[in-house]
Amino acid sequence: MRLMAALSTNMLTVNMLLSVFFLPGALPACPEDSDLFITAPRNMKALSGSCLQIPCNFSAKVAEAFNGSRTTFGVWMKRDHKFKTYPKDVIFNSSQAVNPYPMKITGNLNEKNCTTLFYNLTTTYTNRYFFRVENEQFRKTAICYPLQITVTDSPPSPTIEISGELKEKESVTITCSAFTPCPHSPPKLTWNLQQDAHNKIEENTDRTFTTKIQKTITLSDKQDGYTITCSSIYSVNEGQNVKSTEEKVTLNVSCHGKLADVYIIVKAVGIVMLVSTVVIFEWWIRTRHSTKPVKDSAENGCRVFELSS
Ligand SMILES: *[C@@H]1O[C@H](CO)[C@@H](O)[C@H](O)[C@H]1NC(C)=O
Ligand SMILES: *[C@@H]1O[C@H](CO)[C@@H](O)[C@H](O)[C@H]1NC(C)=O
Ligand SMILES: *[C@@H]1O[C@H](CO)[C@@H](O)[C@H](O)[C@H]1NC(C)=O
Ligand SMILES: *[C@@H]1O[C@H](CO)[C@@H](O)[C@H](O)[C@H]1NC(C)=O
Ligand SMILES: *[C@@H]1O[C@H](CO)[C@@H](O)[C@H](O)[C@H]1NC(C)=O
Ligand SMILES: *[C@@H]1O[C@H](CO)[C@@H](O)[C@H](O)[C@H]1NC(C)=O
C-alpha cells in the first residue's frame, strides 16, 4: 500500500516534469534541439543607408549529414524560424534571383561559410534573424542561434582611449576607434591631434571590424586641459550623403615633476622636525629624572606647586 503510494507520487512528479518540458509549442531546448550550429555575433548594430557584414560559419550537429559536394542554399528568416507557418518571414533564399530583403551570401556555403552582406539598410530591418541551410535532403535551421540586428539612423560616437598615466613627461598612446559594420565602406576618422595619422581597419576576435587612428605623444604641462576631438564620418546611400559623429576627451596632466618633489621635501622636513622634538623632549624628561633627586625637586620645583594648591 505504502509502496503503491510512493510509486504513484513518483509517477505524478514524472508526469509534471514531462508536461513542463514537452508542452506543445514550447521553446526548443537549446542547443540540444538544434541540428545546425552557427558561429555569428548574437547582437549587431548597423547604420541606415550603409551595409552590414555578418561574419558567419556553420556546422551540422551530425557532421556527415552536410555534404559540401552537393548544391547548397542559404536562407535567412526574420522574427521566427517556423517558416511553414510564417512564409513571409523568409526574407532571403539564395536559390532565388529576387528576394524581399537586399542580402547576399558572400561566403562559400559549400565550405560552411555563411558570411552575409546586408545592404541598403533601413531602420525597419531591425529584427531577429535565423539562418537555415538547404543541402539537398539536409535542410536545417539554426533555431538556437538567432541574430539580433539593430539598425539606427545615427552612428554611435567613436571612443577615445588613453593608455598610460596622465603625468608630465610620460608617453601615452591615444586611440580613437569607430564601429565599422560595413567594412566595404568604413568611416573616416579625423582628429585635432596630428592629421597624418592613418586610418587602420582591424578585425576583432568575433570577425567584426573596427576603424582606428592612433598617436603616441609625450605629455607636457601645456597639454593640461587640452580637449581631443575625434570625428567619424560615414558615407551612406551609395556615397550620396554622409553621417558624422564625434567624441571629446579633456586631458588632465598632473605635473608629477614639480609638485611631487615639493611634497616630498615638505614631508621629509616634517619628519625630521617631529623626530627631533621627540628626542629633545625625551632627553629633557630623562635629565630631569636622573640628575635631580626626588627630594631636591620637592624642595625646589614642587614646593611652589604645593604652596599654590
Ligand atoms: C566557425 O569557425 C571557427 C573558427 O574556425 C570554429 O572555431 C567554430 O567552431 C566554427 N563554428 C561552427 C558552428 O562550426
Ligand atoms: C557527397 O555528395 C557527392 C555528390 O552527391 C557524392 O558523390 C559523395 O559520395 C558524397 N559524400 C559523402 C561522404 O556522402
Ligand atoms: C528556398 O528555395 C528553394 C528553391 O526554390 C525551395 O525549395 C525552398 O523551399 C526554399 N526555402 C525556404 C525556407 O523557403
Ligand atoms: C568567409 O567568407 C568571407 C566573405 O567572402 C571571407 O571574407 C572570409 O575570409 C571567409 N572565411 C573563411 C574562414 O574562409
Ligand atoms: C541600393 O540603393 C541604391 C540607392 O537607392 C540603389 O541604386 C541600388 O540599386 C540599391 N541596391 C539594391 C540591391 O537594392
Ligand atoms: C579631466 O577632468 C575633467 C573635469 O574634472 C573630467 O570631466 C574629465 O573626465 C577628465 N578627463 C580625463 C581623461 O580623466
Cβ of 148 closer than 6 Å to ligand 6, yes or no, is: no
Interval 97-104 mean pLDDT: 96
C-alpha cell read off for 132: 537555415
CA-CA distance, 244 to 188, in Å (whole number)? 9
Ligand nearest to the CA of 162: 6
Cβ of 33 closer than 6 Å to ligand 5, yes or no, is: no
The H or E element containing residue 10 is helix 2-21
* pLDDT higher than threshold 90 for residue 279: no
Of 145, 130, 128, 147, the closest CA to residue 74 belongs to 130
Q: pLDDT above 90 covers what percent of the chain?
A: 59
Whether cis (ω within 30° of 0) applies to the bond prior to 31 is yes
CA-CA distance, 114 to 123, in Å (whole number)? 23
**pLDDT tens for residues 173-190?**
999 999 999 999 999 999
| Residue 65: predicted pLDDT | 93
CA-CA distance, 131 to 145, in Å (whole number)? 8
* b/e 229-262 (16+ beta carbons within 10 angstroms → b): ebbbebbbeeeeeebebbbebebebeebeeeeee
Question: What number does the ligand 2 atom closest to the CA of 68 have?
Answer: 1
- Angle formed at CA 112 by CA 107 and CA 115, multiple of 5 degrees: 30
Q: Which of 53, 110, 113, 118 to mutate to test the pocket of ligand 4 (most atoms within 8 A of CB)?
A: 113
| Residue 260: predicted pLDDT | 53
CA-CA distance, 212 to 200, in Å (whole number)? 5
* pLDDT higher than threshold 60 for residue 2: no
- What DSSP designation does 21 have? H
- Angle formed at CA 68 by CA 64 and CA 69, multiple of 5 degrees: 110
- What DSSP designation does 167 have? B
For 184, what's the count of Cα atoms within 13 Å in the CB-facing half-sphere? 14
| Residue 3: predicted pLDDT | 47
CA of 111 to the centre of ligand 3 (A): 20
Interval 98-118 mean pLDDT: 97
**pLDDT tens for residues 192-229?**
987 667 899 999 999 999 999 999 988 888 788 889 99
| Residue 27: predicted pLDDT | 65
* Residues contacting residue 221 through CB under 8 Å, at least 6 positions apart: 168, 253, 255
| Residue 286: predicted pLDDT | 76
Interval 241-261 mean pLDDT: 80
- 142: alpha, beta or left, given left = phi > 0 and alpha = psi -120 to 50? beta
Instruction: Supply the residue whose CA is at minimum distance from atom 8 of ligand 6.
Output: 250
| Residue 23: predicted pLDDT | 45
Cβ of 122 closer than 6 Å to ligand 5, yes or no, is: no
